[in-house]
Amino acid sequence: MTASSNSSTPLRLLAVHAHPDDESSKGAATMAMYAAAGVDVMVATCTDGSRGDIQNPAMETAPHPKRDMAGARRVEMANAAGFLGVAQRWLGFVDSGLPEGDPLPPLPMGSFATLTLEHAAAPLVRLVRDFKPQVILAYDENGGYPHPDHIMAHRVAVEAFEAAGDPSRYPGTGEPWQPSKLYYDRAFSPERFRALHFALEEAGLQSPYAERLAAWLESDAEGHTPPPPKHPTTTQVDCGDYFEARDDALRAHRTQIDPLGFFFAVSTDMQRRAWPWEDYTLISSHVESTLPERDLFAGLR
């Protein structure tokens, strides 16, 4: 039976991410806030992260990731989920890695981004039908940034949103369930980076965002660099009280996140003053709500 939310149905949120650590850098404070408020929150992690490089200098000599990167990242993911208060499910695919070179080499055979859409989306359709979320969070068409796994994560999230409620599609993956709302995450919102940049400059501190903002301005003028996200913000979630939980979850991904790096350039107090929101674009909805929104569940409560 196809279903949607009513007053007696628990609210459920599903966030679809490419690798372990992506959930902590995109929408983490939103998830922690909703989880603390009693919403059932689930992270779907598409790949095992096995082809990730060590990004934290303090972990370069650690034996576990050198021996078993996927295993190390499973431990990190469990710790991060604990800080956010969310459930997490692995979809079971192999990290494609980020190809480098000119020309780019082919992706490893059988990795996530090389699969057919139907093959890659089937586990997520099954999860949607089992978990029954009203709201799905996904990346935009560019994947947030153009990593092949991020682009595939976008594609499978949209496919699952559109297909999970159709009984004729993906037979054998559970009873149909139609999610009510699909959002794209805007973690790379230019408006947010601008606000943080000027807050740092006003405080007499060096901003790490100047280069990114300059690249976006050049793109706007000449089209030479990757453009900023093209979808406007429709929904801002005021989740500043959960920035510490987000940062704890980020630091839990010890192989990927440098605790002295980019993500921690602005204090949580300054972030709360300058931009206490996380930003989203409502892409598709089966319920009525008035834009702009302050709640991902607007129209469902």
Residue positions forming the annotated binding site for Zn(2+): 19, 22, 150
Helix segments in the chain, DSSP class H: 22-25, 28-36, 63-67, 69-84, 117-131, 148-163, 190-202, 210-222, 243-252, 268-274
**Separation of alpha carbons 273 and 270, rounded Å:** 5
**Separation of alpha carbons 248 and 19, rounded Å:** 18
What is the DSSP annotation of 169-196? SSTTS-S----SEEEEE-TT-HHHHHHH
Q: Are 239 and 276 in contact (CB under 8 A)?
A: yes
How many residues are recorded in the chain? 301
Question: Residue 128, class by beta-carbon neighbours within 10 Å (0-12 exposed, 13-18 middle, 19+ buried)?
Answer: buried
Residue positions in the annotated binding site? 19, 22, 150
